[in-house]
Amino acid sequence: MITEDRRIWCLERNGDYSVKSAYKFCSTNLADTSHLQANGPWHLLWRICAPPKIKNLLWRICRHCCPTRVRLQDKGIECPTDCVLCEDHDEDSFHLFFKCRNSLNIWNQTNIAQAVLQASEEQSDAAAVIFTLLQQVDKDKTGIFAIIIWSIWNQRNDKVWRNKDTPQQTVILRAMNFLNDWKNIISVQTSTSVDMQAETTLTKWKKPSPGRIKCNIDVAFPSNTNLIGIGICIRDETGAFVRAKTEWFEPKCEVHVGEALGFLSALRWVHELNLGPVDFELDSKLMVDSSRYHRKDFTEFGAIIQHCKAIFFLFLCKL
């Protein structure tokens, strides 16, 4: 299997250069981005039991890029700075979510009021309050905490953009309804996923159509050797054993490359046997997709796939 040498871009899986991967490499390895990094238990923020857009809002607050009036002015946008909900203080994130009398009244109607009020007294920054709460309260309460912040932000935006006053009780009710609806959807999706996994587990080998044979291929990567093992089994339309073969290749390679080598080996062998129409069955979706569709790939994997396709179309077969 000889192919012409060429340069490949190792930062992309298909070996093709992309500006995106080059930018990521330069920004990570060449540019000094230490000033952009922010300390804090970020993993706790992303583990909050709440919709992604809620976690994104908290991330923006903690990164000081939530577009409050004070932040907009810092960026050169001319706008008033007073809080639209109380008009008593400049609107920054710390005031809007934790010090505004409107927000304080909302927090006092929740089951996490004490923790929020204590954290806002001890800290002087919205990010510090959020990180403190995430470390102190349990999983269910962090979800409530996050969703209330989101609802306060919506209340603020309703006032700014629609001149609409949203009652504090509505802010809480909207938050809890949204959180409960989201949890119900997640519960249904999880249940469906479990059912699908159970069905997948119970899937059994099926005979090929009349007049066809089926070739199953599997690849093993033993941990104690520098080899990869390939197993090939052929059965007829009744499910009866026809032929089988094992091969070893060295050195050990990446899993997807090993799967491709296994497929190539099976194609060559079956083509030599000339057994008629063949169905090939693999357990690698990447292999199936790469064999069916044209995808630009300059790597070793791509070269093997091209060899597979060349043999594949020499005789009538179906993936």
DSSP 251: S
Residue 319: the pLDDT is 46
Predicted confidence (pLDDT) at residue 285 exceeds the cutoff of 50: yes
Query: Residue 197: its pLDDT value, please?
Result: 61
pLDDT of the residue at 318: 47
- Tens of pLDDT, residues 10-65: 888 888 889 999 998 988 888 777 766 778 899 999 999 999 999 999 999 999 99
Cα–chain-centroid distance for residue 282? 25
What confidence score (pLDDT) does residue 193 get? 59
Cα–Cα separations (whole angstroms), residue 271 to 178, 231, 313, 317:
59, 16, 10, 10
Domain boundaries, the chain: 40-186, 213-318
Strand partners, 318: 279
Which helix (H) or strand (E) element contains residue 219? strand 213-220
Q: What is the largest CA-CA distance in the chain?
A: 86
Structure token pair of residue 16: 């093709």
The CB density around residue 122, as the number of other CB atoms within 10 Å, is 10
Q: Which contiguous run of DSSP H or E holds residue 232?
A: strand 228-235
Q: How far is CA 53 from the centre of its chain?
A: 14
pLDDT computed for residue 150 by the predictor: 98
Looking from the CA of 238 toward its CB, the CA atoms found within 13 Å total 3
Q: Tokens for 166, please give them.
A: 């949203």
Q: What is the pLDDT of residues 138-162, one digit of tens each?
A: 999 999 999 999 999 999 999 999 9
Neighbour order of strands in the sheet with 278-281 = 241-249, 228-235, 213-220, 278-281, 317-318
Q: Given a cut of 80, is residue 189 above it in pLDDT?
A: no
pLDDT band at 195 (very low <50, low <70, confident <90, very high): low
Lowest-confidence segment of 139-143, 220-224, 265-269, 309-313 by average pLDDT: 309-313
- Residue 102 pLDDT > 60, yes or no? yes
Give the tens place of pLDDT for each residue, 104-123. Answer: 999 999 999 999 999 999 99
Task: Report the distance separating Cα 278 and Cα 143, nearest Å.
Answer: 53
Homologous superfamily of the 213-318 domain (CATH): Ribonuclease H-like superfamily/Ribonuclease H (3.30.420.10)
Of 34-48, 128-142, 216-230, 291-305, where does mean pLDDT reach its minimum? 291-305
Q: What is the mean pLDDT of the chain?
A: 89
